[in-house]
Structure 1
Amino acid sequence: MIESILVALHNATTLLFGVYISAAFLGIKLNRKNIFILFGFSCAVGAVYIGVFTLFGETVTRQVYPFIVHLPLVLFLMLFYKYKLVFSLMSVLTGYLCCQISKWVGIAAEEISGLETVYYGARVITTVTVFALLLRFVSEATAQLTQKPDKELLILAVMPLTYYLFDYLTGVYTGLLYSGKAIVAEFLGFALCIAYLLFLLVYFKQYEEKREAEQKIRLIEMQRANSQKEIEANRRSQYAVSLIRHDMRHFLANISAFIDDGEYVRAKEYINEIISQTEKTAPHKYCKNTVVNMILSSYESDIHNNGIDFKYEVQIPEKLIVSDIDLTSILSNALENAIHA
């Protein structure tokens, strides 16, 4: 009697766990409305489960379980809550994978106690506990996955999908899982390796995209800072030019006086001094390449502030085969390393 109650309770909690945690993984808020909607769906598929179990027995029910529970759940999340197929499938497969926690705990408890009732009791307790933990600490993170591109989600779904197929093919539709054959025992390691390699590929791609985005932001920030410097330089230049223009009559008068007095050397020196002053009003450029000019200009103050003698001879064409992002990364890192060496 107790065992029958525990079996029924185990089946009910497992079904509810799968339905509610799949919804939570998608970011569906478990408010009163959604709780009742999901409970209604659970009752509907539960009724189908009981009907199949009554008519065909436990073995057939286990074999058709994906078609009377998992597939309807995927379709329900798609059609009612308007999630894409890949998102719904990912959440259901992940929920199924999480069910294995209670399964292992139940098996361990039965091995220790030797009682089947302990197996079902341990599974019920573990299912409730795992649900609370997943809802509290994991569901919010998994909900963010719906923002990812479909291709990346498919990569993440490899592991739960592999285990799902493995579990049903070797444990439900055949008895290979408990046959002790090496090909079965080693398959999960093989699948884990493939999933890990695929994950590394996706992670590396995202890392490269993030690095490129950071370099773009850095380049934009340099452009902004350089624009401010150029504005200030132009203001100073305009002010200096206005002073030179204002004093030009005096400059010409002095030059004329030097020439009239036959002091040609002093006149030439005076002219060179005026030329030198006017050259200082021109905006400073290191080379023809705009990006290199911007980078050198942004680091020039740091170089002088660190007491470094800055001598340069830059001969770079206006256009380079290197992208602006890569050029910014290489030259900026080189200058930073040189400054802090």
Structure 2
Amino acid sequence: MALIPIVQGIIYYTWDVDFLQQIYPLLVHVPLILLLWGLTGKLLWPFFSVMGAYLCCQLRRWMALLVVEILGGGAMMLDVVELLITLPLLFALLYFMTPAVRYLSGYSRKMQCQFGMIPVLYYVFDYFTKVYTDLLSSGTPVVVEFMPFICCVAYLFFLLYNFTKGQEENRMKEIQKSLDMQVAQSMREITALRESQNLARRYRHDLRHHLQYLYACLENRQIEKAKDYISDICDELEQQKVVRYCENEAANLILSSFAGRAEAEEIVMKVEGGIKAQLKISDTDLCVLLSNALENAIHACEKVRKEGKEAKIEVQIYEKQEQVFLQVKNSYNGEAVFENGVPVSKEKGHGIGVQSICAIVERYDGVYTFSAEKEYFILRLSLSEKSVDSVHFTAD
């Protein structure tokens, strides 16, 4: 590392000045990039940093030219002003810009390339038109207008980029808001169903008291009264019944809840398979996934029922080799529009559920397919429990 300035000094004192100016990038910029690469272990960002530093030298140059233009003076005055400006400008850049540059260094390579585009273009333009040729000093219009052209293109590019980014952020906020609402609804359903189970347990606990009452009715030959009492108890227990579809409590409660809704809408719902009690996939994501899939299925079946046709939902869910598989097959009226393999809806407020399903599946490195076959709409998906450690999702 110490040899670099020594070698550079020897070259400066022995070689021709014009030739040194032409190979200056090889003497200074390339060694600096390689040095930063060795210190940081990264190549792209040190390269853009050196290009950015070269671009910032234009600040010093232009301010010195402005002072000379106002106060007068020749080349000597220009050099003196540049020297006087260098240190204050350097400290200002270090103080104000270092945090921002350090923050940008943690961005993706794509984002780094976007920020490094202008410094690199300026670097190439400056050397090509001033060092290796005299195109800039010759006043060729296409060369003189090149940097304003680049500024215009950069402005339009960042305008479109930020517009697209803003739209994406707004869309994600809408999805996040919808997810929060769906999670809250799912949690309310789980709470209600748990209370239902607790109520059933209390009924079983109170069985002794019920039997004592029935015994008294029979002993007093009040047969009809006993029958009515038994009928009332059976009705209450039936209302609180939670069908057990699988060992996983969260999935079981959601399936039971939607089975009740399907029955109320005269929709035949069949559930096959099952998943174990403990999954690496969070209960929240599982509830949102099942709720959205079944909500969409019931919504489609309701349209079929309005046409006076039979509607049914078939659910298959199982877990194998740290993969959770789900298939929801439901009747639909034949109206389905797909974009990039994903169903879309023109109805206001609809379509968010599908986006939620896709987002959850992608977070767990899974796959999903939506298809329509004759009178059935089919959702198939799988989630990988192996990727759970890398899933970071928080809802504000």
| TM-score, normalising length: structure 2 | 0.54
Structure 2 letter corresponding to 1:44: I
Q: Which residue of 2 aligns with 1:9?
A: none
Higher relative contact order (CA 8 A, sep 6+): 1
The alpha-carbon distance between structure 1 residues 186 and 241, as it changes in their structure 2 partners (threshold 3 A), is: same
**1:157-185 residue CA offsets vs partner (Å, 9 max, x unmatched):** 11000000111111222222133332123
- Tell me the CA shift for residue 128 of structure 1: 0.9
Structure 2 letter corresponding to 1:100: Q
* Cα separation, 1, equivalents of 2:61 and 2:34: 26
Residue from 20, 37, 44 that aligns with 2:6: 44
Q: Which residue of 2 aligns with 1:113?
A: 71
Once the two structures are overlaid, the 10-residue window that deviates more, 65-74 or 161-170, is: 65-74
Q: Which residue of 1 aligns with 2:151?
A: 192
Q: Which residue of 1 aligns with 2:288?
A: 291
Q: Residue 152 of structure 1 contacts residue 202 of structure 1 at CA under 8 Å; is this kept in 2?
A: no
Q: Which residue of 2 aligns with 1:271?
A: 231
Structure 1 letter corresponding to 2:118: M
Structure 2 letter corresponding to 1:76: L
Q: Residue 54 of structure 2 contacts residue 123 of structure 2 at CA under 8 Å; is this kept in 1?
A: yes
Kindly report which structure 2 residues correspond to 1:20-59, keeping only aligned pairs within 5 A, or say none.
Answer: 43-44=5-6, 47-48=9-10, 50-51=12-13, 55-57=15-17, 59=18
Q: Which residue of 2 aligns with 1:26?
A: none
SS in structure 2 at match of 1:285: helix
SS in structure 2 at match of 1:115: coil
* Cα separation, 2, equivalents of 1:155 and 1:41: 34
Q: Residue 186 of structure 2 contacts residue 287 of structure 2 at CA under 8 Å; is this kept in 1?
A: no
Supply the RMSD in Å over aligned alpha carbons. Answer: 4.4
**1:4-34 residue CA offsets vs partner (Å, 9 max, x unmatched):** xxxxxxxxxxxxxxxxxxxxxxxxxxxxxxx
1:90 aligns with 2:87: no
Q: Residue 45 of structure 1 contacts residue 69 of structure 1 at CA under 8 Å; is this kept in 2?
A: no
| Greater helix share, structure number | 1
Q: Which residue of 2 aligns with 1:159?
A: 118
Structure 2 letter corresponding to 1:95: A
The alpha-carbon distance between structure 1 residues 125 and 217, as it changes in their structure 2 partners (threshold 3 A), is: farther
* Cα separation, 2, equivalents of 1:209 and 1:162: 30
**1:209-262 residue CA offsets vs partner (Å, 9 max, x unmatched):** 89759957985896599569736852x344322321133355466668489546
Structure 1 letter corresponding to 2:257: K
Q: Which 5+ residue runs of structure 2 have no aligned equivalent?
A: 243-252, 263-285, 293-297, 302-312, 316-327, 330-341, 344-351, 360-396
- Tell me the CA shift for residue 148 of structure 1: 2.4
Q: Which residue of 2 aligns with 1:302?
A: none
Q: Residue 33 of structure 2 contacts residue 47 of structure 2 at CA under 8 Å; is this kept in 1?
A: yes
| Greater strand share, structure number | 2
Q: Which residue of 2 aligns with 1:334?
A: none
* Cα separation, 2, equivalents of 1:197 and 1:92: 25
* Cα separation, 2, equivalents of 1:262 and 1:280: 26
* Cα separation, 2, equivalents of 1:100 and 1:124: 13
Kindly report which structure 2 residues correspond to 1:127-146, keeping only aligned pairs within 5 A, or say none.
Answer: 127-146=86-105
- Tell me the CA shift for residue 101 of structure 1: 0.3
1:230 aligns with 2:190: yes
* Cα separation, 2, equivalents of 1:45 and 1:220: 63
Structure 1 letter corresponding to 2:190: E
- Tell me the CA shift for residue 47 of structure 1: 0.9
Q: Residue 215 of structure 1 contacts residue 325 of structure 1 at CA under 8 Å; is this kept in 2?
A: no
**1:125-144 residue CA offsets vs partner (Å, 9 max, x unmatched):** 22111210111121122123
| TM-score, normalising length: structure 1 | 0.61
Structure 2 letter corresponding to 1:96: Y
| Identical residues among aligned pairs (%) | 26
The alpha-carbon distance between structure 1 residues 327 and 43, as it changes in their structure 2 partners (threshold 3 A), is: closer
- Tell me the CA shift for residue 151 of structure 1: 3.0
Kindly report which structure 2 residues correspond to 1:191-210, keeping only aligned pairs within 5 A, or say none.
Answer: 191-196=150-155, 199=158, 204=164, 208=168
Structure 1 letter corresponding to 2:203: I
- Tell me the CA shift for residue 107 of structure 1: 0.8
Q: Residue 74 of structure 1 contacts residue 85 of structure 1 at CA under 8 Å; is this kept in 2?
A: yes
Q: Residue 155 of structure 1 contacts residue 198 of structure 1 at CA under 8 Å; is this kept in 2?
A: no
* Cα separation, 1, equivalents of 2:170 and 2:112: 18
Q: Which residue of 1 aligns with 2:265?
A: none
Q: Residue 215 of structure 1 contacts residue 329 of structure 1 at CA under 8 Å; is this kept in 2?
A: no
Q: Residue 215 of structure 1 contacts residue 328 of structure 1 at CA under 8 Å; is this kept in 2?
A: no
The alpha-carbon distance between structure 1 residues 139 and 48, as it changes in their structure 2 partners (threshold 3 A), is: farther
* Cα separation, 1, equivalents of 2:7 and 2:160: 39
The alpha-carbon distance between structure 1 residues 50 and 325, as it changes in their structure 2 partners (threshold 3 A), is: farther
SS in structure 2 at match of 1:153: helix
Q: Which residue of 2 aligns with 1:103?
A: 61
- Tell me the CA shift for residue 105 of structure 1: 0.6
Structure 1 letter corresponding to 2:52: T
Structure 2 letter corresponding to 1:326: Q
